[in-house]
Structure 1
Protein backbone atom coordinates (compact mmCIF):
# COMPACT_ATOMS: atom_id res chain seq x y z
CA UNK A 1 0.00 0.00 0.00
CA UNK A 2 1.32 3.44 -0.90
CA UNK A 3 1.40 5.79 2.09
CA UNK A 4 0.11 9.22 1.22
CA UNK A 5 0.86 12.57 2.83
CA UNK A 6 -2.10 12.16 5.16
CA UNK A 7 -1.31 8.56 6.09
CA UNK A 8 0.81 7.11 8.88
CA UNK A 9 2.16 3.65 9.61
CA UNK A 10 3.05 0.74 7.33
CA UNK A 11 1.71 -2.58 6.12
CA UNK A 12 -1.65 -3.46 7.64
CA UNK A 13 -1.33 -0.64 10.19
CA UNK A 14 -1.66 2.35 7.86
CA UNK A 15 -4.09 4.94 9.19
CA UNK A 16 -5.66 7.90 7.46
CA UNK A 17 -4.81 11.00 9.47
CA UNK A 18 -7.11 13.96 9.94
CA UNK A 19 -6.30 17.12 8.01
CA UNK A 20 -7.75 20.64 8.25
CA UNK A 21 -10.74 19.88 6.01
CA UNK A 22 -11.58 16.66 7.84
CA UNK A 23 -11.29 18.34 11.25
CA UNK A 24 -13.64 21.15 10.27
CA UNK A 25 -16.10 18.78 8.61
CA UNK A 26 -16.18 16.54 11.66
CA UNK A 27 -16.57 19.49 14.03
CA UNK A 28 -19.43 20.82 11.91
CA UNK A 29 -21.17 17.45 11.87
CA UNK A 30 -20.92 17.27 15.67
CA UNK A 31 -22.03 20.90 16.00
CA UNK A 32 -18.81 21.40 17.94
CA UNK A 33 -17.76 24.90 18.92
CA UNK A 34 -14.31 24.73 20.53
CA UNK A 35 -14.35 26.35 23.96
CA UNK A 36 -11.62 28.18 25.83
CA UNK A 37 -13.00 26.74 29.07
CA UNK A 38 -11.99 23.24 28.01
CA UNK A 39 -8.88 24.46 26.22
CA UNK A 40 -10.04 22.98 22.93
CA UNK A 41 -7.48 23.73 20.24
CA UNK A 42 -7.34 20.82 17.81
CA UNK A 43 -4.19 19.84 15.89
CA UNK A 44 -4.92 19.97 12.16
CA UNK A 45 -1.42 19.26 10.85
CA UNK A 46 -0.46 15.66 10.09
CA UNK A 47 3.22 16.46 10.22
CA UNK A 48 2.90 17.66 13.81
CA UNK A 49 1.17 14.52 15.11
CA UNK A 50 3.66 12.32 13.27
CA UNK A 51 6.47 14.31 14.85
CA UNK A 52 4.97 13.92 18.33
CA UNK A 53 4.59 10.17 17.90
CA UNK A 54 8.19 9.97 16.73
CA UNK A 55 9.70 12.15 19.48
CA UNK A 56 7.70 10.28 22.13
CA UNK A 57 9.53 7.09 21.10
CA UNK A 58 6.44 4.97 21.66
CA UNK A 59 7.25 1.27 21.31
CA UNK A 60 5.03 -1.72 20.44
CA UNK A 61 5.05 -2.70 24.13
CA UNK A 62 3.78 0.67 25.36
CA UNK A 63 0.35 1.48 26.72
CA UNK A 64 -0.17 5.17 26.03
CA UNK A 65 -2.50 7.35 28.06
CA UNK A 66 -3.68 10.31 26.02
CA UNK A 67 -5.49 13.13 27.81
CA UNK A 68 -7.98 15.19 25.83
CA UNK A 69 -7.81 13.37 22.49
CA UNK A 70 -10.42 15.71 21.05
CA UNK A 71 -11.30 14.74 17.49
CA UNK A 72 -8.54 12.12 17.36
CA UNK A 73 -5.69 13.74 15.41
CA UNK A 74 -2.95 12.56 17.75
CA UNK A 75 -4.76 9.32 18.64
CA UNK A 76 -4.58 8.18 15.03
CA UNK A 77 -0.83 8.81 14.94
CA UNK A 78 -0.24 6.90 18.18
CA UNK A 79 -2.24 3.76 17.41
CA UNK A 80 0.25 2.21 14.91
CA UNK A 81 3.10 2.70 17.38
CA UNK A 82 1.62 1.48 20.67
CA UNK A 83 0.21 -1.75 22.03
CA UNK A 84 -2.76 0.22 23.36
CA UNK A 85 -3.98 3.80 23.62
CA UNK A 86 -6.18 4.73 26.57
CA UNK A 87 -7.84 8.05 25.74
CA UNK A 88 -9.24 10.12 28.62
CA UNK A 89 -11.83 12.62 27.37
CA UNK A 90 -14.09 14.82 29.49
CA UNK A 91 -16.37 15.96 26.65
CA UNK A 92 -19.14 13.35 26.19
CA UNK A 93 -19.67 14.16 22.51
CA UNK A 94 -15.99 13.77 21.71
CA UNK A 95 -15.68 10.64 23.85
CA UNK A 96 -18.52 9.00 21.93
CA UNK A 97 -17.18 10.05 18.52
CA UNK A 98 -13.55 8.95 18.95
CA UNK A 99 -14.11 5.17 18.53
CA UNK A 100 -16.22 5.88 15.43
CA UNK A 101 -13.46 8.01 13.91
CA UNK A 102 -10.81 5.40 14.65
CA UNK A 103 -12.96 2.59 13.23
CA UNK A 104 -13.37 4.57 10.02
CA UNK A 105 -9.78 5.74 9.58
CA UNK A 106 -7.80 2.92 11.22
CA UNK A 107 -10.09 -0.13 11.17
CA UNK A 108 -7.30 -2.66 11.69
CA UNK A 109 -6.22 -0.85 14.85
CA UNK A 110 -9.59 -0.04 16.42
CA UNK A 111 -9.20 -2.78 19.03
CA UNK A 112 -6.11 -1.01 20.40
CA UNK A 113 -8.19 1.95 21.59
CA UNK A 114 -10.16 2.35 24.79
CA UNK A 115 -11.92 5.57 25.74
CA UNK A 116 -12.47 6.70 29.32
CA UNK A 117 -14.99 9.49 29.72
CA UNK A 118 -13.61 11.33 32.72
CA UNK A 119 -11.83 14.39 34.04
CA UNK A 120 -8.11 13.61 33.93
CA UNK A 121 -7.74 15.28 37.33
CA UNK A 122 -9.84 12.53 38.93
CA UNK A 123 -8.50 9.50 37.05
CA UNK A 124 -7.22 6.59 39.12
CA UNK A 125 -5.64 3.29 38.04
CA UNK A 126 -8.94 1.46 38.53
CA UNK A 127 -10.56 3.65 35.86
CA UNK A 128 -8.24 2.30 33.17
CA UNK A 129 -8.26 -1.09 31.46
CA UNK A 130 -4.45 -1.27 31.27
CA UNK A 131 -1.45 0.11 33.12
CA UNK A 132 -0.13 3.05 31.09
CA UNK A 133 3.60 3.27 30.54
CA UNK A 134 3.71 6.51 28.57
CA UNK A 135 1.83 9.80 28.65
CA UNK A 136 1.45 11.52 25.28
CA UNK A 137 -0.98 14.41 25.05
CA UNK A 138 -1.86 17.83 23.73
CA UNK A 139 -2.86 19.37 27.05
CA UNK A 140 -5.18 22.32 27.61
CA UNK A 141 -3.08 25.25 28.71
CA UNK A 142 -5.07 26.03 31.86
CA UNK A 143 -4.73 22.55 33.40
CA UNK A 144 -1.49 21.21 31.91
CA UNK A 145 0.68 21.27 35.03
CA UNK A 146 -1.96 19.93 37.48
CA UNK A 147 -2.83 17.10 35.07
CA UNK A 148 0.80 16.04 34.59
CA UNK A 149 1.53 16.12 38.33
CA UNK A 150 -1.67 14.24 39.14
CA UNK A 151 -1.00 11.47 36.63
CA UNK A 152 2.60 11.06 37.75
CA UNK A 153 1.36 10.79 41.34
CA UNK A 154 -1.43 8.25 40.81
CA UNK A 155 0.00 6.18 37.95
CA UNK A 156 3.34 4.76 39.10
CA UNK A 157 3.46 2.62 35.94
CA UNK A 158 4.13 5.77 33.89
CA UNK A 159 7.81 5.70 32.94
CA UNK A 160 7.97 8.62 30.53
CA UNK A 161 5.90 11.23 28.78
CA UNK A 162 5.76 13.79 26.02
CA UNK A 163 3.25 16.59 26.38
CA UNK A 164 2.46 19.58 24.21
CA UNK A 165 1.72 22.65 26.30
CA UNK A 166 1.84 26.43 26.05
CA UNK A 167 5.43 27.51 25.39
CA UNK A 168 5.68 29.47 28.64
CA UNK A 169 4.36 26.49 30.59
CA UNK A 170 6.95 24.28 28.89
CA UNK A 171 9.67 26.70 29.96
CA UNK A 172 8.48 26.64 33.57
CA UNK A 173 8.19 22.86 33.72
CA UNK A 174 11.68 22.30 32.34
CA UNK A 175 13.45 25.18 34.13
CA UNK A 176 16.36 24.54 36.48
CA UNK A 177 17.43 26.33 39.68
CA UNK A 178 18.50 29.90 39.07
CA UNK A 179 16.24 30.44 36.08
CA UNK A 180 13.82 33.37 36.19
CA UNK A 181 10.93 31.02 35.39
CA UNK A 182 11.95 28.29 37.85
CA UNK A 183 9.13 27.79 40.31
CA UNK A 184 6.53 25.44 41.73
CA UNK A 185 5.88 23.52 38.46
CA UNK A 186 9.63 23.05 37.93
CA UNK A 187 10.35 21.69 41.40
CA UNK A 188 7.29 19.47 41.70
CA UNK A 189 7.87 17.96 38.26
CA UNK A 190 11.49 17.31 39.25
CA UNK A 191 10.24 15.25 42.22
CA UNK A 192 8.94 12.67 39.73
CA UNK A 193 11.02 12.99 36.61
CA UNK A 194 13.86 14.45 34.62
CA UNK A 195 12.20 17.13 32.49
CA UNK A 196 13.44 18.82 29.33
CA UNK A 197 12.18 20.89 26.43
CA UNK A 198 11.78 18.74 23.33
CA UNK A 199 11.11 21.37 20.69
CA UNK A 200 8.77 24.23 19.72
CA UNK A 201 5.35 24.00 18.10
CA UNK A 202 3.91 26.95 16.16
CA UNK A 203 0.37 28.16 16.69
CA UNK A 204 -0.72 27.65 13.08
CA UNK A 205 -0.97 23.85 13.46
CA UNK A 206 -4.08 24.31 15.62
CA UNK A 207 -7.72 25.06 14.97
CA UNK A 208 -8.84 27.45 16.22
CA UNK A 209 -5.48 29.21 16.18
CA UNK A 210 -4.46 30.11 19.76
CA UNK A 211 -2.78 33.39 20.56
CA UNK A 212 0.30 31.64 21.98
CA UNK A 213 2.94 29.23 20.73
CA UNK A 214 3.35 25.76 22.18
CA UNK A 215 6.24 23.52 23.12
CA UNK A 216 6.97 19.86 23.69
CA UNK A 217 8.09 18.70 27.13
CA UNK A 218 9.70 15.29 27.64
CA UNK A 219 9.59 13.57 31.02
CA UNK A 220 11.56 10.53 32.13
CA UNK A 221 10.52 9.01 35.46
CA UNK A 222 13.16 8.83 38.15
CA UNK A 223 13.10 7.98 41.82
CA UNK A 224 12.17 10.88 44.12
CA UNK A 225 14.80 12.22 46.52
CA UNK A 226 15.66 9.93 49.40
CA UNK A 227 13.98 11.57 52.37
CA UNK A 228 12.07 10.76 55.54
CA UNK A 229 9.54 13.48 54.64
CA UNK A 230 6.43 12.63 52.65
CA UNK A 231 5.74 14.08 49.23
CA UNK A 232 2.96 16.17 50.75
CA UNK A 233 5.33 17.58 53.36
CA UNK A 234 7.94 18.46 50.73
CA UNK A 235 5.34 20.03 48.45
CA UNK A 236 4.08 22.17 51.35
CA UNK A 237 7.60 23.63 51.69
CA UNK A 238 7.76 24.28 47.95
CA UNK A 239 4.39 26.05 47.98
CA UNK A 240 5.44 28.24 50.91
CA UNK A 241 8.85 29.06 49.44
CA UNK A 242 7.41 30.38 46.18
CA UNK A 243 4.30 32.06 47.60
CA UNK A 244 6.35 35.25 47.96
CA UNK A 245 9.21 34.93 45.53
CA UNK A 246 11.01 38.12 46.50
CA UNK A 247 11.33 37.15 50.14
CA UNK A 248 14.22 35.23 51.60
CA UNK A 249 13.47 31.68 52.66
CA UNK A 250 13.69 32.76 56.31
CA UNK A 251 10.77 35.11 55.74
CA UNK A 252 8.88 33.00 53.20
CA UNK A 253 8.87 29.92 55.43
CA UNK A 254 8.01 31.74 58.66
CA UNK A 255 4.36 30.72 58.64
CA UNK A 256 5.22 27.15 57.63
CA UNK A 257 7.75 26.82 60.47
CA UNK A 258 5.84 28.87 63.05
CA UNK A 259 8.11 31.90 63.16
CA UNK A 260 11.09 33.43 61.34
CA UNK A 261 13.59 32.08 63.92
CA UNK A 262 12.08 28.58 63.60
CA UNK A 263 12.35 28.83 59.81
CA UNK A 264 16.00 29.87 60.11
CA UNK A 265 16.72 26.94 62.41
CA UNK A 266 15.11 24.50 59.98
CA UNK A 267 17.04 25.96 57.07
CA UNK A 268 20.38 25.82 58.85
CA UNK A 269 19.70 22.25 59.94
CA UNK A 270 19.08 21.43 56.28
CA UNK A 271 22.29 23.10 55.18
CA UNK A 272 20.46 25.91 53.36
CA UNK A 273 21.36 29.59 53.64
CA UNK A 274 18.37 31.37 55.30
CA UNK A 275 18.99 34.40 53.06
CA UNK A 276 18.60 32.32 49.89
CA UNK A 277 15.41 32.35 47.81
CA UNK A 278 13.33 29.46 46.59
CA UNK A 279 14.44 29.75 42.97
CA UNK A 280 17.99 28.85 44.00
CA UNK A 281 17.12 25.45 45.50
CA UNK A 282 16.85 21.97 44.02
CA UNK A 283 14.07 19.56 44.93
CA UNK A 284 16.55 17.69 47.18
CA UNK A 285 17.07 20.90 49.18
CA UNK A 286 13.34 21.27 49.75
CA UNK A 287 13.20 17.67 50.93
CA UNK A 288 15.89 18.32 53.54
CA UNK A 289 14.04 21.40 54.75
CA UNK A 290 10.84 19.40 55.13
CA UNK A 291 12.72 16.84 57.23
CA UNK A 292 13.77 19.56 59.62
CA UNK A 293 10.44 21.26 60.23
CA UNK A 294 10.19 22.21 63.90
CA UNK A 295 7.79 20.17 65.99
CA UNK A 296 5.56 21.60 68.69
CA UNK A 297 6.82 21.21 72.19
Structure 2
Protein backbone atom coordinates (compact mmCIF):
# COMPACT_ATOMS: atom_id res chain seq x y z
CA UNK A 1 0.00 0.00 0.00
CA UNK A 2 1.42 3.35 -1.05
CA UNK A 3 2.09 5.89 1.65
CA UNK A 4 0.42 9.27 1.16
CA UNK A 5 2.50 12.42 1.30
CA UNK A 6 2.01 14.54 4.41
CA UNK A 7 1.18 18.25 4.55
CA UNK A 8 4.84 19.16 5.13
CA UNK A 9 5.68 17.65 1.75
CA UNK A 10 3.22 19.93 -0.05
CA UNK A 11 4.43 22.96 1.92
CA UNK A 12 7.99 22.14 0.90
CA UNK A 13 6.96 21.69 -2.75
CA UNK A 14 5.12 25.03 -2.81
CA UNK A 15 8.18 26.79 -1.36
CA UNK A 16 10.49 25.00 -3.77
CA UNK A 17 8.37 25.86 -6.83
CA UNK A 18 8.13 29.49 -5.70
CA UNK A 19 11.92 29.75 -5.33
CA UNK A 20 12.46 28.23 -8.77
CA UNK A 21 9.81 30.40 -10.43
CA UNK A 22 10.61 33.62 -8.56
CA UNK A 23 13.00 35.10 -11.19
CA UNK A 24 10.50 34.54 -14.00
CA UNK A 25 7.58 35.86 -11.92
CA UNK A 26 9.54 38.98 -10.98
CA UNK A 27 10.58 39.61 -14.58
CA UNK A 28 6.98 39.24 -15.76
CA UNK A 29 5.69 41.64 -13.10
CA UNK A 30 8.46 44.10 -13.99
CA UNK A 31 7.54 43.86 -17.68
CA UNK A 32 4.04 45.23 -17.02
CA UNK A 33 5.19 48.10 -14.81
CA UNK A 34 5.67 51.65 -16.12
CA UNK A 35 9.25 52.86 -16.12
CA UNK A 36 8.62 55.10 -13.09
CA UNK A 37 7.77 52.05 -10.96
CA UNK A 38 11.01 50.23 -11.78
CA UNK A 39 13.11 52.68 -9.79
CA UNK A 40 12.81 54.59 -6.54
CA UNK A 41 10.54 53.68 -3.64
CA UNK A 42 8.26 51.51 -5.77
CA UNK A 43 11.03 49.35 -7.23
CA UNK A 44 10.46 46.45 -4.82
CA UNK A 45 6.66 46.49 -4.90
CA UNK A 46 5.19 43.30 -6.31
CA UNK A 47 2.38 44.95 -8.23
CA UNK A 48 2.04 48.29 -9.93
CA UNK A 49 -0.91 50.61 -9.42
CA UNK A 50 -0.90 51.31 -13.17
CA UNK A 51 0.01 48.07 -15.02
CA UNK A 52 0.68 48.51 -18.71
CA UNK A 53 1.62 46.43 -21.75
CA UNK A 54 3.46 49.30 -23.42
CA UNK A 55 6.78 47.53 -22.93
CA UNK A 56 5.57 44.59 -25.03
CA UNK A 57 4.30 46.90 -27.74
CA UNK A 58 7.58 48.80 -27.73
CA UNK A 59 9.61 45.59 -28.11
CA UNK A 60 7.91 44.82 -31.43
CA UNK A 61 7.55 48.37 -32.73
CA UNK A 62 10.84 50.02 -31.76
CA UNK A 63 13.12 47.05 -32.43
CA UNK A 64 13.33 44.37 -35.17
CA UNK A 65 12.41 41.80 -32.55
CA UNK A 66 10.47 39.52 -34.91
CA UNK A 67 13.61 39.29 -37.04
CA UNK A 68 15.63 38.32 -33.98
CA UNK A 69 13.10 35.60 -33.14
CA UNK A 70 13.18 34.28 -36.70
CA UNK A 71 16.99 34.22 -36.76
CA UNK A 72 17.12 32.29 -33.48
CA UNK A 73 14.48 29.85 -34.69
CA UNK A 74 16.23 29.16 -38.00
CA UNK A 75 19.70 28.75 -36.49
CA UNK A 76 18.50 26.67 -33.53
CA UNK A 77 16.29 24.40 -35.66
CA UNK A 78 18.92 23.69 -38.31
CA UNK A 79 21.58 23.18 -35.65
CA UNK A 80 19.34 20.75 -33.76
CA UNK A 81 18.38 18.68 -36.82
CA UNK A 82 21.93 18.54 -38.12
CA UNK A 83 23.48 17.81 -34.74
CA UNK A 84 21.07 15.06 -33.68
CA UNK A 85 21.34 13.40 -37.11
CA UNK A 86 25.15 13.28 -36.97
CA UNK A 87 25.25 12.44 -33.26
CA UNK A 88 22.86 9.51 -33.68
CA UNK A 89 25.24 7.76 -36.09
CA UNK A 90 28.29 8.53 -33.95
CA UNK A 91 26.58 7.33 -30.77
CA UNK A 92 25.28 4.19 -32.49
CA UNK A 93 28.76 3.27 -33.69
CA UNK A 94 30.32 3.89 -30.27
CA UNK A 95 27.59 2.12 -28.31
CA UNK A 96 26.85 -0.90 -30.53
CA UNK A 97 29.99 -1.67 -32.57
CA UNK A 98 33.28 -3.17 -31.46
CA UNK A 99 36.40 -1.29 -32.51
CA UNK A 100 39.55 0.04 -30.92
CA UNK A 101 39.72 3.51 -29.49
CA UNK A 102 36.09 3.95 -28.39
CA UNK A 103 37.17 5.20 -24.98
CA UNK A 104 39.62 7.63 -26.58
CA UNK A 105 36.93 8.97 -28.91
CA UNK A 106 34.52 9.53 -26.04
CA UNK A 107 37.30 11.24 -24.11
CA UNK A 108 37.99 13.54 -27.03
CA UNK A 109 34.29 14.36 -27.35
CA UNK A 110 34.16 15.22 -23.66
CA UNK A 111 37.33 17.32 -23.88
CA UNK A 112 35.87 19.35 -26.75
CA UNK A 113 32.79 20.16 -24.68
CA UNK A 114 34.99 21.27 -21.76
CA UNK A 115 36.83 23.96 -23.75
CA UNK A 116 35.68 27.45 -22.70
CA UNK A 117 34.00 29.33 -25.52
CA UNK A 118 36.30 32.32 -25.16
CA UNK A 119 39.31 30.09 -25.89
CA UNK A 120 37.89 28.96 -29.24
CA UNK A 121 36.21 32.20 -30.23
CA UNK A 122 39.19 33.88 -31.94
CA UNK A 123 40.25 31.00 -34.22
CA UNK A 124 36.65 30.20 -35.15
CA UNK A 125 35.97 33.85 -35.96
CA UNK A 126 39.13 34.12 -38.11
CA UNK A 127 38.20 30.99 -40.06
CA UNK A 128 34.63 32.13 -40.65
CA UNK A 129 35.82 35.63 -41.59
CA UNK A 130 38.24 34.26 -44.18
CA UNK A 131 35.50 32.02 -45.60
CA UNK A 132 33.06 34.94 -45.79
CA UNK A 133 30.58 33.27 -43.44
CA UNK A 134 30.19 36.03 -40.88
CA UNK A 135 26.76 37.67 -40.77
CA UNK A 136 25.06 34.51 -42.01
CA UNK A 137 23.09 31.61 -40.60
CA UNK A 138 25.73 29.05 -41.50
CA UNK A 139 28.29 31.19 -39.67
CA UNK A 140 26.48 30.40 -36.40
CA UNK A 141 25.45 26.84 -37.19
CA UNK A 142 29.08 25.73 -37.57
CA UNK A 143 30.34 26.97 -34.17
CA UNK A 144 27.10 25.90 -32.46
CA UNK A 145 28.06 22.36 -33.46
CA UNK A 146 30.96 22.54 -31.01
CA UNK A 147 28.42 23.09 -28.23
CA UNK A 148 25.57 20.75 -29.16
CA UNK A 149 27.34 17.83 -30.86
CA UNK A 150 29.43 16.60 -27.88
CA UNK A 151 26.39 16.92 -25.60
CA UNK A 152 24.21 14.99 -28.05
CA UNK A 153 26.74 12.19 -28.55
CA UNK A 154 27.19 11.64 -24.83
CA UNK A 155 23.44 11.53 -24.16
CA UNK A 156 22.66 9.22 -27.10
CA UNK A 157 25.46 6.77 -26.29
CA UNK A 158 23.70 6.07 -22.98
CA UNK A 159 20.36 5.43 -24.71
CA UNK A 160 21.80 3.17 -27.40
CA UNK A 161 23.66 1.08 -24.84
CA UNK A 162 20.39 0.33 -23.00
CA UNK A 163 18.73 -1.21 -26.07
CA UNK A 164 18.86 -5.04 -25.83
CA UNK A 165 21.48 -6.60 -28.11
CA UNK A 166 19.18 -9.54 -28.88
CA UNK A 167 17.15 -7.36 -31.23
CA UNK A 168 20.24 -6.44 -33.19
CA UNK A 169 21.39 -10.06 -33.35
CA UNK A 170 17.99 -11.12 -34.64
CA UNK A 171 18.17 -8.50 -37.38
CA UNK A 172 21.63 -9.72 -38.43
CA UNK A 173 20.38 -13.30 -38.62
CA UNK A 174 17.63 -12.10 -40.97
CA UNK A 175 20.33 -10.62 -43.19
CA UNK A 176 19.95 -6.94 -42.28
CA UNK A 177 22.93 -4.62 -42.78
CA UNK A 178 24.14 -2.18 -40.14
CA UNK A 179 22.14 0.63 -41.76
CA UNK A 180 19.00 -1.47 -42.04
CA UNK A 181 19.37 -2.53 -38.42
CA UNK A 182 19.76 1.05 -37.36
CA UNK A 183 16.76 2.45 -39.24
CA UNK A 184 14.33 -0.45 -38.73
CA UNK A 185 15.27 -1.71 -35.26
CA UNK A 186 17.41 0.71 -33.26
CA UNK A 187 16.03 4.05 -34.42
CA UNK A 188 12.36 3.41 -33.47
CA UNK A 189 13.43 2.30 -29.97
CA UNK A 190 15.70 5.32 -29.54
CA UNK A 191 13.06 7.93 -30.48
CA UNK A 192 12.50 9.06 -26.84
CA UNK A 193 16.24 9.60 -26.40
CA UNK A 194 16.55 11.37 -29.74
CA UNK A 195 13.62 13.62 -28.87
CA UNK A 196 15.10 14.53 -25.47
CA UNK A 197 18.49 15.21 -27.04
CA UNK A 198 16.89 17.44 -29.68
CA UNK A 199 15.11 19.49 -27.01
CA UNK A 200 18.34 20.02 -25.05
CA UNK A 201 20.31 20.88 -28.20
CA UNK A 202 17.63 23.36 -29.32
CA UNK A 203 17.62 25.12 -25.94
CA UNK A 204 21.44 25.29 -25.91
CA UNK A 205 21.49 26.86 -29.38
CA UNK A 206 18.56 29.19 -28.62
CA UNK A 207 20.26 30.63 -25.52
CA UNK A 208 23.82 30.90 -26.89
CA UNK A 209 25.21 34.43 -26.68
CA UNK A 210 28.99 34.75 -27.14
CA UNK A 211 29.34 33.31 -30.66
CA UNK A 212 26.20 35.15 -31.82
CA UNK A 213 27.53 38.43 -30.43
CA UNK A 214 30.90 38.12 -32.16
CA UNK A 215 30.15 36.46 -35.49
CA UNK A 216 26.90 38.14 -36.54
CA UNK A 217 27.09 41.90 -36.03
CA UNK A 218 24.42 42.86 -38.59
CA UNK A 219 20.88 43.45 -37.33
CA UNK A 220 19.60 41.18 -40.09
CA UNK A 221 21.33 38.16 -38.50
CA UNK A 222 21.32 38.91 -34.78
CA UNK A 223 19.70 36.30 -32.56
CA UNK A 224 17.37 36.98 -29.65
CA UNK A 225 19.96 36.98 -26.79
CA UNK A 226 22.15 39.46 -28.66
CA UNK A 227 19.18 41.56 -29.74
CA UNK A 228 17.96 41.92 -26.15
CA UNK A 229 21.46 42.82 -24.97
CA UNK A 230 21.57 45.59 -27.58
CA UNK A 231 18.41 47.29 -26.31
CA UNK A 232 19.39 50.89 -25.56
CA UNK A 233 17.57 53.97 -24.37
CA UNK A 234 18.60 57.55 -24.97
CA UNK A 235 19.70 58.13 -21.38
CA UNK A 236 18.94 54.92 -19.47
CA UNK A 237 18.73 51.18 -20.02
CA UNK A 238 15.11 50.21 -20.89
CA UNK A 239 14.68 47.57 -18.22
CA UNK A 240 10.94 47.30 -18.80
CA UNK A 241 11.43 46.46 -22.47
CA UNK A 242 14.23 44.02 -21.63
CA UNK A 243 11.96 42.23 -19.16
CA UNK A 244 9.14 42.11 -21.72
CA UNK A 245 11.46 40.70 -24.38
CA UNK A 246 12.77 38.11 -21.92
CA UNK A 247 9.22 36.93 -21.21
CA UNK A 248 8.44 36.70 -24.94
CA UNK A 249 11.60 34.66 -25.56
CA UNK A 250 11.00 32.31 -22.64
CA UNK A 251 7.36 31.51 -23.45
CA UNK A 252 8.11 29.37 -26.58
CA UNK A 253 10.56 27.22 -24.59
CA UNK A 254 8.08 26.81 -21.73
CA UNK A 255 5.28 25.85 -24.13
CA UNK A 256 7.55 23.39 -25.94
CA UNK A 257 8.56 21.68 -22.70
CA UNK A 258 4.95 21.52 -21.44
CA UNK A 259 3.64 20.11 -24.72
CA UNK A 260 6.36 17.47 -25.00
CA UNK A 261 6.98 16.83 -21.30
CA UNK A 262 5.85 13.20 -21.51
CA UNK A 263 8.32 12.45 -24.28
CA UNK A 264 11.08 14.32 -22.46
CA UNK A 265 10.47 12.42 -19.20
CA UNK A 266 10.26 9.17 -21.14
CA UNK A 267 13.57 9.92 -22.80
CA UNK A 268 15.30 10.92 -19.57
CA UNK A 269 14.12 7.82 -17.68
CA UNK A 270 14.23 5.19 -20.42
CA UNK A 271 17.81 4.31 -19.60
CA UNK A 272 17.43 4.42 -15.83
CA UNK A 273 16.05 0.88 -15.45
CA UNK A 274 18.15 -2.00 -16.68
CA UNK A 275 16.31 -4.60 -18.71
TM-score category (smaller protein): under 0.3
Larger radius of gyration: 2
Structure with the larger RCO, 1 or 2 (CA within 8 Å, 6+ apart): 2
Structure with the higher fraction of residues in strand conformation: 1
Query: So what's the TM-score if we normalise by structure 2?
Result: 0.20
